Structure 1
Amino acid sequence: MKRYRKIIFVCDSGTARAPMAEAIMKEYIIKYPVEIESRGLVVLFPEPLNQKTEAVLISNGINAENQMSKQLTAEDLQSEHLIIAMETAQKQKILEEYQDSLEADVEVLTDLTGDELEILNPYGGSLQSYGLCYETLNKTIKKLVNLINEGRNE
């Protein structure tokens, strides 16, 4: 995998899966300096993390206090950035909406790691569904970090 200066996780609102993925990935050691952030596709104003997302992160020893949602912008789409969507539909939306300014690589998380199923959106579900989302993201991001650290596919 090629080296990126910044990795940005993207989900719909920027309050659940993407910030959860960001927080998880920051717990791992990456062999070169890389910024890890998250964005939403529809963020009308900054919002704090979904309460269930925050509770699951805290219960797993991760502090994501004061994290606020941010809108994905054309400035995020630079050539040294990797944009990671949670679903194919989100990737398509990014490719369509930003086609004139898109220089970044845009991928679906599970496509990068070779997993069959996309990361399900826990929004509106029970705390248990957020916990399951965390477990799935953690396994998938561990694979992603290994790919990054091994430098495969360069």
Structure 2
Amino acid sequence: MNRILFVCTGNTCRSPMAEGILRRLLQEHGLDHIEVRSAGVAAYDGSPVSSHAASILREQGAPANLTSSALSRELMQWADIVLTMTTGHKQHAIGRFPEYIDKMYTLKEFVEDDPETAQRIAELEELTAELQLKQALDQQISKEERTRLLMLERELPDYEIADPFGGSLAMYRQCAEEIEAALLKLIRKLKP
């Protein structure tokens, strides 16, 4: 895995903070060969990161001069792994680029290190795929299948990273800390 793409909404807060912080961490851990980019499901190319995100990145000694990119087929092809900030971003990306479903995860989901939780995630994804296929074929979904789906969803931890957009610098700092905690787990996965 040499190319990582982070995805959020406008690519001005969460995903550029993830990109900048990971670049710093990769350098610190001698993993300079890994490339990192970010994009947004509702972004315009060339917008600057938010002022609070830029402040956080400067505080962290990370690149702060990042600009936004719209999520595109070219970026999806470029990436070895696509890590989204929320399940909604992941679903949006899957809806637009279903052929790349195998490399899309939420950041927190991808770095999950509890084996039981990872097993529940795999079961949930398999069940979701089966139920979507049933719906597409106009087949009935059983009460047991719906119950199991809801139970699996309730058992999983929260993999969402809340959007700090429009919030205080403290909210951005809290968001960056949450992202960095996940990125430190990612670094452990990336080390040989």
TM-score by length of 1: 0.85
C-alpha distance in structure 2 between counterparts of 1:10 and 1:80, whole Å: 11
Answer 1 or 2: which has greater helix percent: 2
Alignment partner, residue 21 of structure 1: 18
Residues 3-62 of structure 1 deviation map (CA, whole Å, 9 limit, x = unaligned)? x23100000000110000000101122547221111111123420010010111112222
Which sits farther off after the overlay, 90-99 or 38-47? 38-47
Distance 1:127 1:31, change over 3 A: closer
8 Å Cα contact 2:12/2:68 also seen in 1: yes
Match for residue 129 of structure 1 among 158, 171, 184: 171
C-alpha distance in structure 2 between counterparts of 1:88 and 1:63, whole Å: 26
Residue identity matched to 2:179: L
Match for residue 109 of structure 1 among 107, 110, 118: 107
8 Å Cα contact 1:78/1:104 also seen in 2: no
Aligned residues: 145
Partner secondary structure for residue 137 of structure 1: helix
C-alpha distance in structure 2 between counterparts of 1:31 and 1:82, whole Å: 16
C-alpha distance in structure 2 between counterparts of 1:54 and 1:43, whole Å: 17
Q: CA RMSD in A?
A: 2.0
Which structure 1 residue ranges, 4+ long, deviate > 6 Å from structure 2?
A: none
Counting aligned pairs with the same residue, the percent is 28
Distance 1:126 1:35, change over 3 A: same
C-alpha displacement at 1:70, in angstroms? 0.5
8 Å Cα contact 1:15/1:68 also seen in 2: yes
Q: Which has the higher contact order (CA 8 A, sep 6+)?
A: 1
C-alpha distance in structure 1 between counterparts of 2:70 and 2:40, whole Å: 5
> Where does structure 2 lack aligned partners over 5 or more consecutive residues?
114-156
Residue identity matched to 2:12: T
Residue identity matched to 1:91: K
Pairing of 1:36-115 with structure 2 (within 5 A): 36-65=36-65, 67-78=66-77, 81-99=80-98, 101-102=99-100, 105-114=103-112
Match for residue 119 of structure 1 among 135, 153, 161: 161
Alignment partner, residue 7 of structure 1: 4
Residue identity matched to 2:49: L
8 Å Cα contact 2:45/2:67 also seen in 1: no
